[in-house]
Amino acid sequence: MKDLVLIVDDVEINRMILAEILSDDYEILEASDGIETLKILFEQKVSPTAILLDIIMPGMDGFEVLHEIKTHPETEKIPVLFITAADADTNESRGLKSGAADYVSKPFNPDVVKTRLENHINLTRYQNELEELVEEKTAELQRTNEQTLEVLADIVENRDETSGAHIKRTSELSAILIRRIISSPKYAEYAKANGLDQKVAGFIVRATTLHDIGKIKISDNILLAPRKLTDEEFNIMKKHTTYGGEIIDSILEKLGDNVGYFGYSKQICLGHHERWDGRGYPRGIKGDAIPFSARLLSVVDVYDALVSKRPYKDPFPHDEAIGIIVKGGESGQFDPTLVEAFVEVADEIAEFELSLKV
Amino acid sequence: MSNYIDQESGLKRVGGSAALYKKLLGKFIEGKYQEQLETLLAEGKIEDATGMAHTIKGVAANLSLTEVNRLALQVEQALKSGGDYASLVPQLHAATDATIEEINGL
């Protein structure tokens, strides 16, 4: 199939000449003014491979049309060649500065018009291919890194049967809670203060999977003890937070944070047992000093522990667990804003739990 | 050898098709550009007249209507710079008439 070239010129003779010059190699579409051009591009959604655009036209001139083309994402990559008169009054440099790829001068020299157009079409195509290739390679790298992470999470999972499903549930619950924060206008300021946007939210959710990675350094007799831990054992257990931070640090040293979320993983490992009132561990930091990602996971982590069966306890029902989280908020364990949002998504959480039981 | 039309270069510019070239020359006559220019000037619409002179210049260049091209450029420049276009317009008029006559004789 031939490429489509849009010729925009208010003078029919000029359009006819260009059409004749180009018709062997291209499909041709013509427009006689700026308004018609915008209609073709944005209403009829025609997507030409290149546009030849006259500068001086009644009504909307070529510069205005070019501006529209270059400020719409669906057309910004289309190469535009200005049609100019080859005497002293031309606007060639202005045209090139405002984003025109090139220009063809009147009187037309057929070979020059053809060659310039072809060069720009090829150049644009080459550029688009390169961009696609870079995107593809970046995605590939990202996938590789994520697979590495999954392997890491799997190691933790296989160590301790309760944590396997726990990792998946906490990451899903984090996603539900974080979605509430970024989608509800009432939390807009809160989200902004915590640097939250779609991208960061995605990173945090993925980063949560590593929150208990430090447990691989905890011995079996403590990690797998089918009973409540002694104080001494519990003090050792608490170290999984710092161990997690150290493990992520060693990953960062070797890989760098090219997946973008190891930084969050580290915050979460270190901070998910801190308390809003400063009475948590390992550092005893409080309030905003605890990174948002860690505050978020701490709510979700406790909730999931409550509704899960453990060797030393039965699962709490959903409603009761939500009640305990609310009390936890009141007593200073959690970030109150996160507790508020968590209660608002309680139904969604209940649905999610139900879906797991099927 | 014609003074008004450089047929050889005009034919080349439109990709070598004699039929198309003749058709385009016909369009030039139909366009009544000179008439439009003079009407705009009579109405005092200098800016529109400048645009029309620009159009004539471009079309004439593309069709290799050498005299019309040369004079239209002068008219356009005179209109832009506030120069003496009044004496140039009749010259362009005459050149246009002569060009049309030549086209009709092809």
Mean pLDDT across A256-279: 88
pTM of the predicted model, to two decimals?
Answer: 0.59
Write out chain A residues lying below 8 Å of B24, CB-based.
13, 16-17
Whether residue B63 and residue A85 make contact (CB cut-off 8 A), yes or no, is no
The strand pairing partners of A105, in sequence order, are A84
Q: What's chain A's average pLDDT?
A: 89
Mean pLDDT across A329-350: 95
Q: What is the pLDDT of residue A151?
A: 76
For residue A136, give Cα distances in angstroms to A131, A132, A143, A199: 9, 6, 11, 19
Å between A41 CA and nearest CA of chain B: 25
Write out chain B residues lying below 8 Å of A20, CB-based.
14-15, 17, 20
Max avg pLDDT among A237-241, A256-260, A310-314, B5-9: A237-241
Q: Which domains does chain B have, with CATH numbers?
A: 15-104 (1.20.120)
CATH architecture of the domain with range A3-131: 3-Layer(aba) Sandwich (3.40)
Q: What is the pLDDT of residue A8?
A: 96
pLDDT above 60 for A184: yes
Backbone angles phi, psi at A233, to 5 degrees: -60, -40
Which among A13, A25, A30 is the top mutation candidate for probing chain B, defined by the most B β-carbons within 10 Å of its own β-carbon?
A: A13
Q: Does B75 touch chain A (CB under 8 A)?
A: no
Closest Cα to residue A101, out of A130, A73, A71, A79? A79
Confidence of residue B1 (pLDDT cuts 50, 70, 90): very low
What are the boundaries of each domain within chain A? 3-131, 160-357
Q: What is the pLDDT of residue A67?
A: 94
Confidence of residue A87 (pLDDT cuts 50, 70, 90): low
Q: What is the pLDDT of residue A4?
A: 95
33-62 in chain B: CB under 8 A from chain A: 48, 51, 54-55, 57-59, 61-62
pLDDT above 80 for A5: yes
Å between A111 CA and nearest CA of chain B: 9
Mean pLDDT across A255-278: 87
Whether residue A107 and residue B61 make contact (CB cut-off 8 A), yes or no, is yes
Closest Cα to residue B40, out of B31, B30, B50? B50
Confidence of residue B97 (pLDDT cuts 50, 70, 90): very high
- pLDDT digit string (tens) for B40-82? 999 999 999 998 999 999 999 999 999 999 999 999 999 999 8
The strand pairing partners of A5, in sequence order, are A28, A50
Confidence of residue A318 (pLDDT cuts 50, 70, 90): very high
Q: What is the pLDDT of residue A216?
A: 86
pLDDT above 80 for A148: no
- pLDDT digit string (tens) for A126-145? 999 999 999 898 888 878 87
Q: What percent of chain A has pLDDT over 90?
A: 61
Closest Cα to residue A334, out of A267, A258, A279, A269? A279
- Specify the range with the lowest mean pLDDT, choosing from A3-12, A64-73, A303-312, B93-102: A303-312
- pLDDT digit string (tens) for A17-63? 899 889 889 999 999 999 999 999 999 999 999 999 998 888 898 99
The answer to whether A3-131 and A160-357 have equal CATH topology is no
DSSP codes joined into one string, B16-49: T-HHHHHHHHHHHHHTTHHHHHHHHHHTT-HHHH
Mean pLDDT across A350-355: 87
Question: CATH code for A160-357?
Answer: 1.10.3210.10
ipTM of the modeled complex: 0.82
Considering only CB atoms, which residues of chain A are within 8 Å of chain B? 10-14, 16-17, 20-21, 56, 58, 85-87, 89, 106-110
Neighbours of A283 (CB within 10 A): 15
Distance from CA of residue A96 to its chain's centroid? 33
Q: What is the pLDDT of residue A174?
A: 96
